[in-house]
Amino acid sequence: MEKNMYSRPLSLRSMKINDKFWKQEMEVVRKEVIPYQWAALNNQVEGAAPSFCMRNFKVAGKQNKERKEQGKAFIEPKYTFRGFESLPEDPNHPEDKFYGFVFQDSDFSKWIEAVGYSLTQHPDPKLEAIADGAIDIVCAAQQDDGYLDTYYIINGKDKIFTNLKDHHELYCMGHLIEGAVAYYEATGKDKLLKAAARFADYAAAHFGPEEGKCKGYPGHEIAEMALVRLYEVTKEPRYLELSKFFIDERGKRPYYFDKEHPEEVKKGHENDLRYFYNQAHLPVRQQDEAVGHAVRAVYLYSGMADIARLTEDETLYQSCEKLWDSMANEKMYITGGIGGTQIGEAFSYPYDLPNDTAYAETCASIGLVFFARRMLEIKPDAKYANVMERALYNGILSGMALDGKSFFYVNPLEVLPEASHKDERKFHVKPVRQKWFGCACCPPNLARLVSSIGSYTYTEKEDTLFVHLYMGSELTKKVGDKDANVAITSELPWDGNVEIAVEAKDTDFVLALRIPDWCGGNYTVDGIEKDEMSEKDGYLYVKKAWSEKDVLKLHFSMPLLLMEADEKVREDAGKVAVLRGPIVYCLEEVDNGKDLHLLEVNPDGKYEIKDSEICGNPVKVVEMNGFRVVDTAKKDGELYHVYKRKEKEAVELKFVPYYTWANRGENEMMVWVRV
Amino acid sequence: MEKNMYSRPLSLRSMKINDKFWKQEMEVVRKEVIPYQWAALNNQVEGAAPSFCMRNFKVAGKQNKERKEQGKAFIEPKYTFRGFESLPEDPNHPEDKFYGFVFQDSDFSKWIEAVGYSLTQHPDPKLEAIADGAIDIVCAAQQDDGYLDTYYIINGKDKIFTNLKDHHELYCMGHLIEGAVAYYEATGKDKLLKAAARFADYAAAHFGPEEGKCKGYPGHEIAEMALVRLYEVTKEPRYLELSKFFIDERGKRPYYFDKEHPEEVKKGHENDLRYFYNQAHLPVRQQDEAVGHAVRAVYLYSGMADIARLTEDETLYQSCEKLWDSMANEKMYITGGIGGTQIGEAFSYPYDLPNDTAYAETCASIGLVFFARRMLEIKPDAKYANVMERALYNGILSGMALDGKSFFYVNPLEVLPEASHKDERKFHVKPVRQKWFGCACCPPNLARLVSSIGSYTYTEKEDTLFVHLYMGSELTKKVGDKDANVAITSELPWDGNVEIAVEAKDTDFVLALRIPDWCGGNYTVDGIEKDEMSEKDGYLYVKKAWSEKDVLKLHFSMPLLLMEADEKVREDAGKVAVLRGPIVYCLEEVDNGKDLHLLEVNPDGKYEIKDSEICGNPVKVVEMNGFRVVDTAKKDGELYHVYKRKEKEAVELKFVPYYTWANRGENEMMVWVRV
């Protein structure tokens, strides 16, 4: 770790994203997802599982008011945890109780976070007014002592922090903080920020290394990185210390979760295995393999990276690097998806990356981007940005329909609809996107990520602007007491042309430009001299005496790539994936007919890259010579027959961008194709 | 159905099996499995889960005695069903209660059945004395009214027949009957037969079409075929009628299991799906796809075939044929394994035959043999015998270690030990055989099948002897009032030479000899004239004026076969399996090194068939030219890289018989190899 290398994301308020590709996604989120989400939080979506989120806050607020009037400490416990408090027969006439998942509060927090980001790019007084109203409802539920989780406020505060392992209490706090910080940074309004800080103060008084304080930590991580954000906006060390405490405490023996759940205690190795799920099997500084629930894992690793950076913790940073390599080099799908098994929505063993039973949760890839950005902050190495880009354009975008109206939790690389309907082992693999989920994590997570895409595009240190992703945008960066203005236009993801206009006269402004892995080192730069450029760790550093206006023209070569997996990946043996630039391609039945498993790529064949559109969205598709294997020895009604070398019928394969699949109805899809 | 075609198995007492291959298996069962099993039934196996089976009978017998002395109807209910009554802390000082699975009684029944068969081939007064002693213990537990299931006798008879769906009560009755009939047929002793008949009478009084009688049927089938055996030995129509009632009643609306478990009732389609598991989703005469728990399915189909034969039920027979074809043509592994998914130990959808997550339970293949034999009884068509042979030599024998000391439940076609240890989706796939199971179904099932192999080798009608399998044996068949003596010597499974000596002078004796599918119609017969032979449905019918002694010499060509699966079987695309005669071959790591998935068969290469041995057992192995795929483009630490046509290093592949795998330690195994 070299402190002088650290960089931080730019404020979204200092930039305008006007990228052809991403602006369109942001608009879909702004126009479709955010309003839809608000309707969902208020049970106003026909046919979707009611969230009861806002209603839970209202009920908690009402009881809060009554409680104060009656001068009670808290209402009588009615507490009975079922993980999900079943919904009322008639959603229009529910009782004054808590409904939904124990983490239902976080639906609001994710929404307000997305709203905050969106307002930085598209001011919208009407939306802001709705948000302020929602914040009032949420804050009215906060207890005098600062506690703010409606599940316990309504069901009985006596059980607070008694089930950290399963009850997502600190998870809800984490999301509340993230939402509050985002909304504050976007609008300057601090009502929710103060509420979140008071909840964090409550937690900080309860948990900590000091004698008598609880030695627990979150069962579902996120508080770790959220508290760091809260620290960075408030500068209150208490929050940094609490985050560090959670990270230091995790995985210590005896296991905190064993103390909390004596009934579940098992012996030795078996016990460790149980805590793989929560990454609590070992102290984090001893962890070197990504295991367990994938979303929890990358949320934890993100928090670890934050703490490593802020506390100069070399050992912790080394664990982050090992865990990164474990994921990126042994456990990541080519789409940037992570989580090879649906059991525990978790990482499988190294190189176990089944395509048709993949979990590859949208949220996990989003968390991977969080982690990548934080690793970039510590050390600008393109290996992080390459993965970040891969995940963004593929395993994450695939989570949302092109019209923003339906969503995937699970992002498989191969789908046979019949299997999804008939094989319980594949019930988690949906052949078409769903409207909304009772457990609504992926859609709002997508909303908050896409709306804040600029925080992943750029990071900065004193004199340097790091460009990790190329997207059309305008920004201003402070260099000393001067401004450097940068305007970028980009043809990504469809072509490798990028133009960067810089106005940085009389500054020591340094521009650090990522050289994408997919260009194979083939790129050209016009507008600067050789001696003004140097390469390091996959970044092109431009240091020069800037004039009134300098215009750099970059061209990154964007060849069609046939990729293969490490031979240890059994599921991909004898197969290739088609990539171009940041885009992973796939075959769909609608373009190529049934039985995609009988198709083969001809590696020596011709191909064409064509402008096309899918559901009105401009894309480039790939048409490539291939084969359909024909079995001439087959006898009907015979399951097995004597082998005969197959005949190969020449066919044109049509590949479409993976993120666009399943937008044209239910059908077969395949990323890894026989070669 | 043509009644004049019906045939029946020969009595095991009328034959002596002296086959090189099968006699050896029978000896392993006699010397290892049967004594081991008896020890297990009596909790005398170190380190194995105690069965408590015989002890449960003793406790029931003791309480029975007390009850009679106290003149009580039955003992007070202590009934609380947990599926498994947990074992005592100290197995040496347990309470007087029921221990183990609700179907623990059947461990005895399966053992006594195997003992009976074994005694027909190898008289053993010491073993017979032990068996008679065990029968006394079992019969002492029988209630005055004939009821005999220790789970309910000990826990409270008030709950009898109240949970047919899950409690295996009729399953235990079925196994008791099968064991009793086998022991009676072997020894002529009828004590257990009478006890079983009294239990069946009890059931016949409880269940039936008559008003006021219970309309239930077994949750786990077997009683259907067992009652037919009881009918055929006692000629008491009551048992045939009860079996037919169970078959006719299954799947009728409203579902009996819904009446029994109102709490579980779900609506419409979902409800049907639940009863796929028990094949109770539809009346059996409307079923045309093999679904649900595979063992239950084939046990049911066997009973259906019996009833179709005995009641001349054409519709029922047609269902049997459809269900057979559904299995054999769409849902059977090349090893004769059935059950593609571990979820419900069940059939998956057509052509879904994953190799590495297969269930393919040993017992299911055994049940497939039961069904095949019964279909052969109705119509001698080699298609049934071909499957029967395939299952016997492969998917069934693989269930037992060569030394008879350990067993597989699950018989996968591809195993990576790391996956079995680390991937919960493959925990059911064991890389090495287990000593014994708490739920001991497969080992005793193997024991009873192997000991009675002769019942599957031959069936007969008035003047005809059907030879379905070729194994060394001597037998006598009645033809009218004369005897026909037949002596067979066979070199199967390693060579296709069979010699059949017939002494049938002055009889109308007809010999029907199966022409195995694997010879591809290439065979020669010496010792008879052309006009004495005719072919039908895969059988060679020999009809002639027999002399003092005729000797037929058959030679079935036994080429090495590279087989491929129907292209709809995605898991086998681009792969072949190596077969020779009835034997399916596989690759093992111990012979071919790690990463079997990188090996390829060279379909144009040379091969040699060599005499060899595995753990002292003579076998033929196959050495074949092949390749090991070498990736020269791979970069260490990179999960994905640009495709480069692979180099292929020539290697000698060594294939060993599938049934011998995992006898040389834990290692990778693979049946379907890339080509």
Give mean pLDDT, residues A611-624: 97
Residue B282 in this model has a pLDDT that exceeds 80: yes
What integer pLDDT is reported at residue A80 of this predicted model? 57
Indicate whether A477 belongs to any domain. Answer: yes
Could you tell me which residues come within 8 angstroms of residue B429 by beta carbon, excluding any fewer than 6 positions away? B356, B357, B358, B410, B412, B415, B419, B420
CA distance B182 to B176: 10
- Rounded alpha-carbon distances, angstroms, from residue A124 to A121, A179, A189: 9, 18, 15
Q: Looking at the structure, tell me whether residues B481 and B574 fall in a common domain.
A: no
Q: Is the peptide bond before A493 cis (omega within 30 degrees of 0)?
A: yes
Answer yes or no: pTM beyond 0.80: yes
What integer pLDDT is reported at residue B46 of this predicted model? 80
Give mean pLDDT, residues A353-377: 97
Q: Looking at the structure, tell me whether residues B573 and B539 fall in a common domain.
A: no
CA distance A620 to A272: 48
CB-based contact A349 B566, cutoff 8 Å: no
Indicate whether A589 belongs to any domain. Answer: yes
Range scoring the smallest mean pLDDT among A69-83, A127-141, A459-473, B613-627: A69-83
CA distance A458 to A114: 19
Q: Looking at the structure, tell me whether residues A488 and A584 fall in a common domain.
A: no
Give mean pLDDT, residues A6-12: 96
Residue A480 in this model has a pLDDT that exceeds 60: yes
Could you tell me which residues come within 8 angstroms of residue B267 by beta carbon, excluding any fewer than 6 positions away? none
Instruction: Enumerate the residues of chain B whose CB falls inside 8 A of the CB of residue A517.
Output: none
Task: Please name the member of A352, A423, A565 whose beta carbon is closest to the beta carbon of B349.
Answer: A423
Indicate whether B415 belongs to any domain. Answer: no
For residue B336, the distance in angstroms to the closest alpha carbon of chain A comes to: 12
A553/B74: higher pLDDT: A553
pLDDT tens-digit map of A238-248: 999 999 999 99
Q: Looking at the structure, tell me whether residues A608 and A631 fall in a common domain.
A: yes
CB-based contact A564 B641, cutoff 8 Å: yes
Domain with A523, as residue range(s), is 460-556
Banded model confidence at residue A83, pLDDT cuts 50, 70, 90: low
Q: What is the DSSP letter of A332?
A: B
Task: Find, in chain A, the residue whose alpha carbon is nearest to that of B383.
Answer: A638
User: What is the total count of domains within chain B?
Assistant: 2
Q: What is the dihedral of CA B429, B434, B440, B441, to 10 degrees?
A: 50
Residue B81 in this model has a pLDDT that exceeds 60: no
Q: Looking at the structure, tell me whether residues B634 and B545 fall in a common domain.
A: no
Indicate whether A594 belongs to any domain. Answer: yes
Give mean pLDDT, residues B413-429: 94
CA distance B351 to B41: 39
Give mean pLDDT, residues B101-116: 95
What integer pLDDT is reported at residue B550 of this predicted model? 97
Banded model confidence at residue B33, pLDDT cuts 50, 70, 90: very high
Structure token digits, residue B74: 């039955």
For residue B675, the distance in angstroms to the closest alpha carbon of chain A comes to: 9
What integer pLDDT is reported at residue B437 of this predicted model? 63
Task: Please name the member of B423, B576, B642 whose beta carbon is closest to the beta carbon of A341.
Answer: B423
What integer pLDDT is reported at residue B655 of this predicted model? 98
Give mean pLDDT, residues B652-671: 98
What integer pLDDT is reported at residue B69 of this predicted model? 86
B159/A238: higher pLDDT: A238
Residue B75 in this model has a pLDDT that exceeds 80: no
- Rounded alpha-carbon distances, angstroms, from residue A365 to A72, A376, A388, A494, B377: 45, 16, 9, 22, 59
What integer pLDDT is reported at residue B597 of this predicted model? 97
The candidate with the shortest Cα–Cα distance to B671, out of B423, B369, B661, B663, is: B661
Residue linked to tokens 């183990």: B100
Could you tell me which residues come within 8 angstroms of residue B268 by beta carbon, excluding any fewer than 6 positions away? none
The residue out of A540, A556, A572 marking a domain boundary is A556
Instruction: Enumerate the residues of chain A whose CB falls inside 8 A of the CB of residue B538.
Output: none
Q: Looking at the structure, tell me whether residues A537 and A566 fall in a common domain.
A: no
Instruction: Enumerate the residues of chain A whose CB falls inside 8 A of the CB of residue B425.
Output: 341, 343, 357, 425
Residue A2 in this model has a pLDDT that exceeds 90: no
Range scoring the smallest mean pLDDT among A85-94, A164-173, A328-337, B422-431: A85-94
Q: Is B345 a catalytic residue?
A: yes
What integer pLDDT is reported at residue B454 of this predicted model? 97
What integer pLDDT is reported at residue B540 of this predicted model? 98
Q: Looking at the structure, tell me whether residues A617 and A659 fall in a common domain.
A: yes
CB-based contact B643 A569, cutoff 8 Å: no
Residue B83 in this model has a pLDDT that exceeds 90: no
Burial (CB count within 10 angstroms: exposed 0-12, middle 13-18, buried 19+), residue B650: exposed
CA distance B88 to B43: 12
Instruction: Enumerate the residues of chain B whose CB falls inside 8 A of the CB of residue A634.
Output: 566-567
Spatial contact of A386 and A604, defined as CB atoms under 8 Å apart: no
What integer pLDDT is reported at residue B443 of this predicted model? 86
Task: Find, in chain B, the residue whose alpha carbon is nearest to that of A642.
Answer: B563
Task: Please name the member of A343, A576, A674 whose beta carbon is closest to the beta carbon of B574.
Answer: A674
Residue B26 in this model has a pLDDT that exceeds 80: yes
CB-based contact B563 A422, cutoff 8 Å: no
Choosing from B441, B588, B589, B668, the catalytic residue is B441
Instruction: Enumerate the residues of chain B whose CB falls inside 8 A of the CB of residue A292.
Output: none
CB-based contact A425 B595, cutoff 8 Å: no
CB-based contact A675 B564, cutoff 8 Å: no
Q: What is the DSSP letter of B157?
A: G
Residue A625 in this model has a pLDDT that exceeds 60: yes
Range scoring the smallest mean pLDDT among A249-263, A298-312, B580-594: A249-263
pLDDT tens-digit map of A179-234: 999 999 999 999 999 999 999 999 999 999 999 999 999 999 999 999 999 999 99
Spatial contact of B584 and B658, defined as CB atoms under 8 Å apart: yes
Which CATH number is B513's domain given? 2.60.420
Percent residues over pLDDT 70 in chain B: 97
The residue out of B556, B572, B604 marking a domain boundary is B556
Q: Looking at the structure, tell me whether residues B611 and B528 fall in a common domain.
A: no
Choosing from A320, A363, A441, A442, the catalytic residue is A441
Banded model confidence at residue B157, pLDDT cuts 50, 70, 90: confident
Indicate whether B10 belongs to any domain. Answer: no
Structure token digits, residue B15: 């034959």
Spatial contact of B168 and B102, defined as CB atoms under 8 Å apart: yes
Pairing of strands A84-85, A15-17: unpaired
Residue B296 in this model has a pLDDT that exceeds 90: yes
Q: Looking at the structure, tell me whether residues A512 and A543 fall in a common domain.
A: yes
pLDDT tens-digit map of A493-546: 999 999 999 999 999 999 999 999 999 999 999 999 999 999 999 999 999 999
Give mean pLDDT, residues B22-26: 96
Indicate whether A151 belongs to any domain. Answer: no
Residue linked to tokens 């198709």: A599
Range scoring the smallest mean pLDDT among A196-205, A303-312, B354-363, B429-438: B429-438
Residue linked to tokens 């015998």: B385
Could you tell me which residues come within 8 angstroms of residue B182 by beta carbon, excluding any fewer than 6 positions away? B112, B113, B116, B117, B448, B452
Backbone angles phi, psi at A548, to 5 degrees: -50, -50
Backbone angles phi, psi at B283, to 5 degrees: -55, 140
Banded model confidence at residue A5, pLDDT cuts 50, 70, 90: confident
pLDDT tens-digit map of A626-656: 999 999 998 888 999 999 999 999 999 999 9
CA distance B443 to B397: 11
Q: Looking at the structure, tell me whether residues B575 and B669 fall in a common domain.
A: yes
What integer pLDDT is reported at residue A550 of this predicted model? 97
A445/B91: higher pLDDT: A445
CB-based contact B643 A418, cutoff 8 Å: no
Indicate whether B521 belongs to any domain. Answer: yes
Structure token digits, residue A220: 């579902």
Percent residues over pLDDT 90 in chain B: 87
Task: Find, in chain B, the residue whose alpha carbon is nearest to that of A420.
Answer: B349
Banded model confidence at residue B180, pLDDT cuts 50, 70, 90: very high
CA distance A36 to B227: 62
Q: Looking at the structure, tell me whether residues B490 and B565 fall in a common domain.
A: no
The residue out of B524, B556, B588 marking a domain boundary is B556
Q: Looking at the structure, tell me whether residues A524 and A574 fall in a common domain.
A: no
Sign of CA dihedral A283, B425, B564, B382: positive
Indicate whether B619 belongs to any domain. Answer: yes
What integer pLDDT is reported at residue B553 of this predicted model? 97
Residue A438 in this model has a pLDDT that exceeds 80: no
What integer pLDDT is reported at residue B76 of this predicted model? 60
Alpha helices in B71-140 (DSSP H): 105-121, 125-140
Residue A404 in this model has a pLDDT that exceeds 80: yes
Instruction: Enumerate the residues of chain B whose CB falls inside 8 A of the CB of residue A631.
Output: 564, 566-567
